[in-house]
Structure 1
Amino acid sequence: MLTLTATPVLDVEPAIHGEGPTWDAARRELVWVDIDAGQVRRATVSPAGVVAEVGIHPGGGTVGFVVPSSDGGWLLGADGGFTHLSADGAATVLLALEGEGPAAGTRMNDGAVDPAGRVLGGTMALDETPGAGSLYRVDLDGSVHVVLRDLTISNGIEWTADGRTVYLADSGAAEIRAHDYDIATGEFGGSRVFLDLSSDDGPPDGLTMDDEDHVWVALWGAGQVRRYSPAGELVAVVRVGAANTSSCAFAGPGLDHLVISTSTQGLDEAARAAQPDAGRLFVVRPGVTGRPAGVYRGPVDALHRAE
């Protein structure tokens, strides 16, 4: 098994609750969020893996994820719904989901774009109540549908290269499920447990996939990102100098650097002193390449909840 060590990015200020690094290929930029600060952050990544921040934009009270949009801006899962962030940094709420958001005790969490350009984003209860989370899909006509209910912490989501399987992590259940996926409709089919990490060092958080259809997943509380084969075999571990590893993505012009986000959430004063790099991005060159993030291809002026 391959073991690697990631390097902290010292020239970029740490986040409170860093999450969701995503490579925006059209802009040639890395975007990620600070959930608790309600911010979208942007940086360039050089061929050598040097990360240089170029912008910070407010996106809401909390921002769970950011994905590129075909208009040159971004779609966010923010507060209890979806928000558009324009290229000049203006945030516009597109849809507040009924039964979600701070008043309902929930917030948007992780999300990603499917091969057809739809966005799928999940929710979680602020107090992590089991079964309180859902997964939503934004279709290309702007309609928003419930895909799954009874999740606890809907987290990392990504598709295989052929688009026929989607992996979804539920951190509350400490498992990743592989679901059959219909690219034509965006519908989920049958599912199976791909990884059960309930007795491991930490639950699965954000995840990505490489060009060999291997899954890279951050383990919250474990200070690790792991690489698993399509058969579920552990083949590589990346050690990270912060316990709360929250997500990862391939970035840079060659998509050959793995950028890892981390968080200070839940760390007391002693833990923060012992982990001075908590909240920072980390970078490692793992020897494989990944894919750029999908691009949302639906409307950016309004969305509507499907009946």
Structure 2
Amino acid sequence: MALEVEPAPVRPARQGQGPVWDDGAGELLWVDAAGWIRWAQVGPAGAVRDLAVRPVGEPVGAVALTTAPGWLLAAGSGFRRLSPDGEVGVLLDLDGPGRMCGGACDRAGRFLAGVTGLPETRGVGAVHRVDVDGVVSIALADLEEPAAIAWSPDDDVLYLADSGARTVTAYDYDPDLGTADRPRVLLDFPMDEPAIPSGLTVDGAGHLWVSLTGGGQVRRYSSAGRPEEVLRVPATQPTGCTFVGPALDVLVVTTAVEGLSDVDRAVQPDAGRLFTAHVPDVAGRGTFRYRGPLRGLTAA
């Protein structure tokens, strides 16, 4: 079954990614990896419109909702705090060169965020866990480009989209300890095909929705990895997806224009915009918040 998406009337981003739904505010947040945090308002019927944009001043990979005033960012070479007045503060820089990737919060309020190495240093990517006591440690290692993280409805399975390896891997997850083990590759995309898994969300029934950069699609899979539905996006670089709205029944897809040729940009005038789709009989899970301090993070 193929579903169609529609472009939302918001300004395009260079590298949109990591959409997050704030149900308390009725707002959508997402990242422009070039160095911006974006906000949009989502109406009762799913209509999306621009609200605000804040500069970060350095590349940014993910934004997390928090229980304290402000937001937690995976940006630059580590973690940053964005205050309500727009000030950006350094919380912790990680050792070694690399680029922050996607991230998400688990039900206990921990923030897990990916970091990838340089192009010549394959296999040195990792997922870092920010615990609620402010201690940062490595949760998963030996990755390439951990681009997106999501959990099963029972929070006992962590799903990781690794864009560099072109895989989506499932791990057993202990929500009490924040540990992941027993990895098994759920989806493996061939290297000779353009589709790269770059975004990921899980709906309330446990289905995975995977955005495929280069493939112009968001695909739904069963928890066993069986393909079920396809959303065709009129932009070749969908980068992330999540469910928004009061009923969590609108799928929002972020896209990117960065890296497209002039010819591609001409035939994809909506590249970089948000796209939305009402998906019948499907609802998302909502978003957890980081419950730790927005100051004084320390490395384990």
TM-score (norm 1): 0.94
Q: Once the 2 structures are TM-superposed, how far is the Cα of residue 18 of structure 1 from its aligned partner?
A: 0.4
Q: Once the 2 structures are TM-superposed, how far is the Cα of residue 125 of structure 1 from its aligned partner?
A: 3.1
Q: 1:195-206 counterparts in 2 under 5 A? A: 195-198=187-190, 200-206=193-199
**SS of match in other structure, 1:272:** helix
Q: Which residue of 2 aligns with 1:233?
A: 226
Determine the C-alpha separation between the residues in 2 that align with 1:109 and 1:92. 19
Change (3 A) 1:260 1:212: same
Q: Which residue of 2 aligns with 1:55?
A: 52
Q: Which residue of 1 aligns with 2:139?
A: 147
Q: Which residue of 1 aligns with 2:40?
A: 43
Q: Once the 2 structures are TM-superposed, how far is the Cα of residue 163 of structure 1 from its aligned partner?
A: 1.0
- Deviation string 1:160-179 (CA, Å, 9 cap, x unpaired) is 11111100011111111100
- Deviation string 1:101-142 (CA, Å, 9 cap, x unpaired) is xxx2x2101000011100000011353742131110000100
Determine the C-alpha separation between the residues in 2 that align with 1:148 and 1:128. 20
Determine the C-alpha separation between the residues in 2 that align with 1:56 and 1:129. 33
| 1:157 alignment partner, one of 149, 152, 158 | 149
Q: Once the 2 structures are TM-superposed, how far is the Cα of residue 225 of structure 1 from its aligned partner?
A: 0.3
Q: Once the 2 structures are TM-superposed, how far is the Cα of residue 72 of structure 1 from its aligned partner?
A: 3.7
Q: Which residue of 2 aligns with 1:6?
A: 5
Determine the C-alpha separation between the residues in 2 that align with 1:181 and 1:79. 28
1:267 aligns with 2:260: yes
Change (3 A) 1:28 1:72: farther
Gaps of 5+ in 2: none
Q: Which residue of 1 aligns with 2:14?
A: 16
Q: Once the 2 structures are TM-superposed, how far is the Cα of residue 59 of structure 1 from its aligned partner?
A: 2.0
Change (3 A) 1:128 1:279: farther
- Counting matched residue pairs gives 298
Determine the C-alpha separation between the residues in 1 that align with 2:230 and 2:120. 28
Are the equivalent residues in 1 in contact too, given 2:68–2:293 (CA < 8 A)? no
Q: Once the 2 structures are TM-superposed, how far is the Cα of residue 61 of structure 1 from its aligned partner?
A: 0.7
Q: Which residue of 2 aligns with 1:301?
A: 295
- Deviation string 1:202-261 (CA, Å, 9 cap, x unpaired) is 121110010101000100100100000112111110000100110001011111100000
Determine the C-alpha separation between the residues in 1 that align with 2:120 and 2:239. 16
Q: Over the residues paired in the alignment, what is the CA RMSD in angstroms?
A: 1.2
Determine the C-alpha separation between the residues in 1 that align with 2:79 and 2:260. 29
Q: Which residue of 1 aligns with 2:283?
A: 289
1:208 aligns with 2:201: yes
Determine the C-alpha separation between the residues in 1 that align with 2:120 and 2:278. 34
**SS of match in other structure, 1:273:** helix
Are the equivalent residues in 1 in contact too, given 2:243–2:284 (CA < 8 A)? yes
Are the equivalent residues in 2 in contact too, given 1:173–1:198 (CA < 8 A)? no
- Paired letter, 1:280: R
- Paired letter, 1:7: E
Q: Once the 2 structures are TM-superposed, how far is the Cα of residue 54 of structure 1 from its aligned partner?
A: 1.0
Q: Which residue of 1 aligns with 2:79?
A: 82
Are the equivalent residues in 2 in contact too, given 1:128–1:152 (CA < 8 A)? no
Q: Which residue of 1 aligns with 2:130?
A: 138
Q: Once the 2 structures are TM-superposed, how far is the Cα of residue 73 of structure 1 from its aligned partner?
A: 1.9
**SS of match in other structure, 2:243:** strand
Are the equivalent residues in 1 in contact too, given 2:5–2:276 (CA < 8 A)? yes
Are the equivalent residues in 2 in contact too, given 1:155–1:169 (CA < 8 A)? yes
Determine the C-alpha separation between the residues in 2 that align with 1:126 and 1:223. 26
Are the equivalent residues in 2 in contact too, given 1:12–1:51 (CA < 8 A)? yes
Determine the C-alpha separation between the residues in 1 that align with 2:30 and 2:84. 15
- Paired letter, 2:268: Q
TM-score (norm 2): 0.96
Change (3 A) 1:279 1:126: farther
- Paired letter, 1:188: A
Gaps of 5+ in 1: none
Are the equivalent residues in 2 in contact too, given 1:64–1:110 (CA < 8 A)? yes
Instruction: Give me the identity figure in percent.
Output: 47
